Structure 1
Amino acid sequence: MGHRPVGSRPPGHRPPGYRPPGYRPPGYRPPAYRPPYHRPPYHRPPHYHYGPYHYNSGWGWFFTAAIIGSTLVYTTSLPSDKECEKITEKGETLYLCDGVLYRSTYYEDEKVYEIVSDPPAEQGQPQSVVGLGLTSPFTRGETVRELQNRLVGAGYDVGSVDGVFGSGTESAVMWLQYDNGLDSSGVIDPPTATLLGYDVPGAAEPVAAPAQQAAPTDPAPAAEADGSVTEQPEVAAPADPEPASDVVPDAGTDDAMDEPQN
């Protein structure tokens, strides 16, 4: 057997705690992360220490904090109205409460519970891109995010691809419509959706040409009382008059020939 130097490691060995490039821990969210908008059931005053509350139909009330290049979404305690189960995943202790994972951590020297699970799908998302426009509150969802990706791919700036139809997305839609000779309304109509590559039924149907006026036809034959049909007499076209002769006969010539000679 060959000699192996002290401290050598086999090929592919990774030191303890090694993370590949681009690794993100469970629940990572970028610093500019914005929680999905949900209209809360009622207003809740801000927390005296952690600031304003946010609401999500699946998460309930929660807080946010930017920590070391990520956004922490957390609560001060586990939900009391749900049954929570302690589980272990990859050596880490988590709490599963009605399908939502929580991780015990600390923020500002206080024990909090970070929400690890992704937010549930929003209700009432638009199913079709046709008709999208700037509304109050803003229209949100994956349909808007796909629209923003297509606008960016077409060379138009939407600000940020966040799934929110805001003023930046409206401006990009208006520029797209202006560059292609459409009405710059900022609303996705069938021609605009077709420009972005959407398959809109009936968007490319040709416009029917106006019906041409039929040429006048001969009048139909009149029907008699006994059911027989009387043919209408054909009106003959007037014949061209014969041209008048330029030679005028001499009236005295014939008389002179009939007179007896002396």
Structure 2
Amino acid sequence: MSEGPGHVGPSRPVLVTRPAGRGDGLVTLLAQHGVVVEHRPLTRLLPVRGPEVDLARERLAAGQYSHLVLTSRTAVEAFCLAESPSADSAGSTGSTGSTGSPGAPALPASLGVPPHTQVVAVGEGTAAALAAIGIRADVVAAGSGAALVEAMPVASSTPTSRVLFPASGAASPTVPEGLRSKGYRVDQVTVYRPEPVDLPEASAQALRTGGYSAMVLTSPMIARRAAAIGIHPSTAILTIGDPTSEAVREAGLRVTLQAEEPTDAALAAVVVRALDLGP
């Protein structure tokens, strides 16, 4: 998808706004193309611990769900690798400190996914995160919430068609609403929350005055925060998917390019294209 100019020139750095602990892959890919990158997170991801999460894990282990639906690597880490209920997790962000990623995990087997429960991943990245902890995704959708809903069959008429959806506190309603429209009972539980992070003043000023050739936006919340700071018209706006692009447009801005899928490789491809660095 392209709405703005396709060539912005590589003379200025690219601003990557992914949360801490989530930008390294994209930064590495861009560096391989010779792109100068500044990684300045606009949000951080904080895991949620508490009785609701513990109860969801217990119900899953007890076989009460026909499907476990996961729509991000962060949801995998925050739920599948959640600390045991006895852990002292009040206010804790784990051993990763400022990254906001969940910390020292329990053994993956402690999640207790029953054999009859199908594990559904939104895309290949989420499926890979599951595989890394020994959980196989039975269904891998095409990378968006809408694609995940499409990949799920209409629910059976039995009361066992029940979905557990561990998600962000800022999750789009696309998945739960779509699955309910297909007849599923959906239990949504918040397992992490995005929290705003301020840009350093020098970076904010550069964003407003054209100091960046492009910026990468990877969530509606990040898009809204960037728009509130102010984005110079010469800066290409590159997005990870439809919800983020919609947030950009709602803020009165134009999307230069949208990634074909929500992966680091696809994001790197649109940066390269926008900077006209391709072969």
TM-score, structure 2 as length reference: 0.20
TM-score, structure 1 as length reference: 0.21
Name which structure has the greater RCO, CA cutoff 8 Å, separation 6+: 2
Rg: which structure is higher?
A: 1
